[in-house]
Chains A and B, each alone.
Chain A
């Protein structure tokens, strides 16, 4: 069956531009998560959706970051006015429900800000 997919796989952008990263979760999974992984670093939790709702957005690094989810499926992570420190791999995961369910990760989007 299809796993979590993310697009684009790679994105190179110039400082100050806006970018949109997309995540398609596993069909039927109600919970969706975004993480950021800088080069050689661990996973930094950004935001979690239960359905279309994000109960806590405090993990987003700054107000330049926003995320939405529509139809309980696809999610987009938007970074406005990108900075070089935003360069990282952005990982999306989904799980059947929230709580302690196994998270299935996508391959990630590698973002490079020049």
Chain B
């Protein structure tokens, strides 16, 4: 199974770019990497998904190196409302298990 590891917490200031890295050393060939955002008392919400190289959407970018053993979620110019817990998810290929990372608690300061 592709176990994932993330930093427990990060602080940032408004307007800064934030990069959160997830390690998944045992990722399988067919696995995708997905990032979710969770606010208190809510279910997680999809942010971005990728397989390799770089993916960008209106809220974030996802960088995945060639060996795919890690991925980095990049949030440009964060605001106070980006304070949340961010999870990476790697599907364990062929086992029907969904292994979320431990989550990174991002606090954005004014």
Contacts and interface: CB of A to CB of B under 8 A. Distances in A.
A60 B9 CA distance: 29
Interface of A, helix, strand, loop or mixed by DSSP: loop
Nearest to A56: B96
B96 A48 contact: yes
Contacts of B13: none
Contacts of B91: 99-100
Given A55-B96, A100-B91, A108-B43, A42 B102 contact: yes
Interface residues of B, number: 21
Contacts of A42: 87, 100-103
B76 interface: no
Interface in A89-104: 91, 93, 98-100, 102-104
B34 A102 contact: yes
Size class of the A contact interface (CB-based, 8 Å): 20 to 34
Contacts of B96: 48, 55-56, 98
26 contacts: A33-B98, A35-B100, A43-B103, A45-B97, A45-B99, A48-B96, A48-B97, A48-B98, A55-B96, A56-B96, A56-B97, A91-B43, A93-B43, A98-B96, A100-B32, A100-B49, A102-B34, A102-B46, A102-B49, A103-B44, A103-B46, A104-B46, A105-B44, A105-B45, A106-B43, A108-B41
* Nearest 8 pairs of A and B residues by beta carbon: A105-B43, A100-B32, A56-B96, A43-B100, A102-B46, A45-B98, A42-B103, A42-B102
